[in-house]
Amino acid sequence: MGQSTVVATAFTAIMFVAGVSILIMSTVSSFGTLSQAITNQADQTDLVLSERIAFGTWEEVDSSTLHINVTNIGSTSIMLNDFNTVDMILSYNDGSKDQTEWIVFDQSGTANDYWKINNVYFRNEQQDLINPISLTGDVRGGWDPEETLELEISLDVTASSFDYLTMITPVGIQTHSSFTKEYDLGSATISSGTRVVVVSHLLDRMPKSVQVTPGSVLNTEFWVEAVDSDSFEIHLSNNPTSDVVFYWRIE
């Protein structure tokens, strides 16, 4: 009877030690998982804080194609093998209604709607000094700080106007561009013997204001009329005896 008690006590002790060991191992494993999760979150936070991009100048090549510059203004490189997960969202008008399209990255330019990289610039010069970008075959390399990418965005439809573009990186950093000019300016001349000149502008919308200033003293009245989304007219009340230059600005 005494021997049975000893055996039972020993067995209980062994089971207790085994249980404690399992508990310790589980706790250590949990702490390891938690520590790794915290490290991953910290790395992701650092990436979000250091990644910044900004759109620059743009050009409407034709009614289906845009060229726009985007610069890495952050402090970290963005690898091109992640570009398949970049969101490029374009808003435009097809002549009858507004449309919004998610455009896919396709460096070969064979998709119906696509965006690709035409050129790489560093400080306004066409060069790529660090992590050189390969744009043929397997696209690879790094988009480094201060480097500017010239992007081509192409639709398989004709757009009557391009309105807005959004680019979102894989970690959620965004940049936006409106394709509406804030202002336009220039000069126009009413020739001797005439009283009106038609002035073309590039706002592509109805101006909110039109400012016109003669380049010399006039002894006659002048005014603006027929203002629309691509032009306006400057009128004189009398025929001038010499050419009259006007300077204009519209918003």
Low-confidence ranges of the chain (pLDDT < 70): 1-49, 129
Contacts of 123 (CB under 8 A, 6+ apart): 146
Q: What is the pLDDT of residue 113?
A: 95
**Among 53, 152, 175, 164, residue whose Cα is nearest residue 104:** 152
pLDDT in tens, 45-73: 554 568 999 999 888 899 999 999 999 99
Q: What is the pLDDT of residue 214?
A: 93
Find out whether 182 and 251 touch, Cβ atoms under 8 Å: yes
**Among 186, 140, 157, residue whose Cα is nearest residue 95:** 157
Q: What is the pLDDT of residue 80?
A: 86
Q: How many beta carbons lie within 10 A of that of residue 133, not counting itself?
A: 19
Phi, then psi, of 65 in degrees rounded to 5: -135, 135
Q: What is the pLDDT of residue 176?
A: 92
